[in-house]
C-alpha cells in the first residue's frame, strides 16, 4: 500500500507539472501573438519596431524588444509596453488583449486616431496604468472604463474626445491620477470618492463643470431640448402673427354676403350691425390700425415667451401658444395667458412639466385639461 500511495503521488505531481507547463506555454504564445498584432496595427515610419523580430523562438526573446518589459527575463510574459513618442500611426491595437499579464500600456505622443474601444475593460483586464495622451483619438470616453477596476493612472489629455465623461469613472476606487485636458468634453465631471482630482486635470475643456470646476447650471441634454422648444414656440408665435397679417389683407365681407348670411350666421350678422352703428369708423381705418399693431403684438408675445423661460422660476415653456392665449390691454400691449396657474401649483403636479418631471415626452407648460378629464 505504501508503494502504491507513493506511485500515485508521483503520478499526480507529474500531471500537475505538465498542466502548469502547458498553461505557461499557452500564455507565452498568447503574449507573442499580442505583440505581433500590435506591429501589424501600426505604421512605423521611423522603424522603431524594427527590433521586434519574431523569428527567434528562445525563451524570453520578446523581452529584448524595444519598449517591452517582461515579468521575468526568461519568460515570454509581458508586464509593460512602453511605446511613447515613436511616431506610430493607426487605430488602437485590439490585439493587445492577448497580453494576458499586461499591467501597463503607454501609447502617448503618437498619431493614434479613431475611437477608444467600447470593450476596453476586456482588452486591458489587469492594466493599472494607461496613457493615451497626445494622440488624435476622437469620439466619447467609453463607459466601459468603469470596469477597469485595477486602474491607478488614466491619461487621456491632448486628444479630440467629445461628449461627457462617464460618471461611473468616479467609482474607480484605485484611481489616483486622471487627466483629460485639451479635449472637447462637456457636462459634469465625475465625483471621485477615493481621491481628489484637481481642476487642472480638466483644463481647456470649456464645457466641463462641477466640483472642482464651477457648478453646472443645468444638464446639457436638457439645455438642448429646452433651447429647441423655445425656438419652436417663438417660430410658432411669429407664424401666427404672419397668419394674422395675411388674413387681415383679405377684403371685408360685402353687404350682399352679410344679407345672405343674416339668418344662418348670427355672429356675422352681429358684426355687420356693429359696423353699421359705428358711423364714424371706416373699415379701412380698422385695417390700418390692426396692421400697425401687428408687429407690436408679435414682439410683445415673443418677449413674454422668453420671460417665461429665462426669468420665471421654475423655467416654463408655453407649449400651447395660440391667438386665444395673447390678450391685449387698453394700450394694446400683448399679455400671455394660460401660464400663470403654473406658479400656484405643485411642480410635481399634473400640469407643470419641469426639467426633471416631464410627463408628456417633453418639458414645459401642460394645460390641466388632459389631466383632469
> DSSP labels for 149-207?
TT-SEEE--SSEEEEPPPGGGGG-TT--EEE--SSEEEEEPP--SSS---GGGGTT-TE
Domain extents in the chain: 2-209, 220-372
To the nearest whole percent, how much of the chain has pLDDT over 70?
A: 61
Q: What integer pLDDT is reported at residue 336 of this predicted model?
A: 79
Tell me which H or E stretch contains 81.
strand 78-82
Tell me the torsion sign for CA atoms 67, 68, 71, 72.
negative
Mean per-residue pLDDT of the chain: 76
The number of residues in the chain equals: 373
CA 37 to chain centre: 33
Place of cell 467600447: 118
> Cell digits for 310?
429665462
**C-beta neighbour count of 222 within 10 angstroms:** 15
Class of domain 2-209: alpha beta
Residue of higher predicted confidence among 278 and 139: 139
Q: Cβ distance 107 to 88 under 8 Å?
A: yes
User: Which of 147-151, 327-331, 354-358, 362-366 shows the lowest per-residue confidence on average (mean pLDDT)?
Assistant: 354-358
d(CA 211, CA 190): 9
| Whether the predicted pLDDT of 370 surpasses 60 | no
Per mean pLDDT, which of 55-69, 231-245, 280-294 is the most reliable? 55-69
In sequence order, what are the beta bridge partners of 363?
none
| Whether the predicted pLDDT of 7 surpasses 80 | no
Strands 334-336 and 326-328, sheet pairing: antiparallel
Predicted structure pTM score? 0.55
Amino acid at each position: 500500500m505504501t508503494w502504491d500511495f507513493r506511485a500515485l503521488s508521483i503520478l499526480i505531481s507529474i500531471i500537475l507539472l505538465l498542466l502548469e507547463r502547458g498553461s505557461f506555454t499557452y500564455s507565452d504564445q498568447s503574449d507573442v501573438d499580442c505583440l505581433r498584432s500590435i506591429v501589424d496595427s501600426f505604421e512605423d515610419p521611423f522603424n522603431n519596431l524594427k527590433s521586434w523580430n519574431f523569428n527567434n523562438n528562445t525563451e524570453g526573446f520578446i523581452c529584448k524588444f524595444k519598449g517591452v518589459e517582461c515579468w521575468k527575463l526568461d519568460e515570454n510574459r509581458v508586464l509593460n509596453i512602453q511605446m511613447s513618442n515613436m511616431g506610430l500611426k493607426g487605430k488602437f491595437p485590439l490585439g493587445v488583449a492577448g497580453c494576458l499579464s499586461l499591467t501597463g500600456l503607454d501609447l502617448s505622443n503618437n498619431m493614434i486616431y479613431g475611437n477608444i474601444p467600447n470593450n476596453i475593460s476586456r482588452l486591458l483586464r489587469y492594466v493599472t496604468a494607461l496613457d493615451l495622451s497626445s494622440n488624435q483619438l476622437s469620439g466619447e470616453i467609453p463607459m466601459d472604463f468603469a470596469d477597469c477596476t485595477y486602474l491607478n493612472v488614466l491619461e487621456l489629455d491632448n486628444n479630440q474626445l467629445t461628449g461627457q465623461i462617464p460618471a461611473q469613472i468616479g467609482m474607480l476606487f484605485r484611481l489616483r491620477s486622471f487627466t483629460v485636458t485639451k479635449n472637447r468634453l462637456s457636462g459634469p465631471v465625475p465625483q471621485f470618492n477615493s481621491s481628489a482630482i484637481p481642476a487642472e486635470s480638466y483644463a481647456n475643456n470649456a464645457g466641463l463643470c462641477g466640483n472642482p470646476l464651477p457648478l453646472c447650471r443645468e444638464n446639457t441634454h436638457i439645455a438642448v431640448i429646452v433651447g429647441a422648444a423655445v425656438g419652436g414656440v417663438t417660430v410658432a408665435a411669429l407664424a401666427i402673427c404672419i397668419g394674422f397679417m395675411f388674413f387681415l389683407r383679405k377684403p371685408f365681407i360685402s353687404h350682399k354676403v352679410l344679407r345672405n348670411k343674416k339668418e344662418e350666421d348670427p355672429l356675422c350678422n352681429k358684426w355687420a350691425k356693429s359696423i353699421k352703428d359705428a358711423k364714424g369708423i371706416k373699415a379701412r381705418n380698422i385695417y390700418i390700425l390692426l396692421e400697425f399693431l401687428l408687429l407690436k403684438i408679435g414682439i410683445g408675445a415673443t418677449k413674454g415667451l422668453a420671460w417665461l423661460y429665462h426669468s420665471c422660476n421654475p423655467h416654463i415653456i408655453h407649449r400651447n401658444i395660440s391667438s386665444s392665449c395673447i390678450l391685449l390691454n387698453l394700450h394694446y400691449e400683448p399679455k400671455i395667458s394660460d401660464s400663470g396657474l403654473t406658479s400656484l401649483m405643485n411642480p410635481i403636479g399634473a400640469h407643470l412639466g419641469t426639467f426633471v418631471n416631464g410627463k408628456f415626452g417633453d418639458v414645459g407648460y401642460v394645460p390641466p385639461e388632459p389631466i383632469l378629464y
